[in-house]
Amino acid sequence: MALLRVSSHAIGDEADLTGAVGEGDGGVPQGAELIRFAECATRGNEDLSEARKALQAAVGLEAFVLAACTVGIFNGLVRTADSIGIPVDRGMVGRTADFRQDLGLNHFSGSRNTELSNEATDTGPTAIPDLFGN
């Protein structure tokens, strides 16, 4: 989500991060359909078939395939990181404190891997190139 926030600022826009926890439409075209599909696919809801059909109708087959790949990749990465205990790096703890708190992300099971007690003093990258070391 930090990438989404930084990249949206770079184009003079403001991302609606509540979409990351299944609320709203993320402020993007077909966002409601994308979020519904991602939530259903991740949770294995019985509503997945209908969510899949709705997203395909909204964005077309090619964009649907890209969305499904993205959901699969992120799902796998997060599950792997959580299962082996990868914490949020110290620089990102402070930069993400506001939206993690606002969205309730500190209550997700993966947050137990990160020391959050000093989050107000940590600072992190301010631009996308900084995230990757230029």
In a domain, 35, yes or no: yes
Asked whether residue 77 carries a pLDDT value surpassing 90, the answer given is no
In a domain, 69, yes or no: no
Query: How many structural domains compose the chain?
Result: 1
Query: How is 20-68 classified by DSSP, letter by letter?
Result: GGT-S-TTSTTHHHHHHHHHHHHHT-TTHHHHHHHHHHHH-HHHHHHHH
pTM: 0.63
- Render pLDDT for 4-30 as a digit per residue (tens, 0 to 9): 666 666 667 776 777 666 677 777 789
- Render pLDDT for 24-60 as a digit per residue (tens, 0 to 9): 777 778 989 998 998 899 888 899 999 999 999 999 9
* Block residue for tokens 């966002």: 31
CB 125 within 8 A of CB 6: yes
- Render pLDDT for 78-125 as a digit per residue (tens, 0 to 9): 788 878 888 877 777 777 788 787 878 788 777 878 887 765 554 555
In a domain, 130, yes or no: no
Provide the domain limits for residue 25: 1-60
Residue 112: per-residue pLDDT: 79
Q: How many CB atoms neighbour CB 15 within 10 A? A: 19
Closest CA to 29 of 67, 2, 65: 67
Residue 29: per-residue pLDDT: 85
75 or 128, higher pLDDT: 75
* Block residue for tokens 């826009």: 13
In a domain, 51, yes or no: yes
First to last CA, the chain: 19
In a domain, 108, yes or no: no
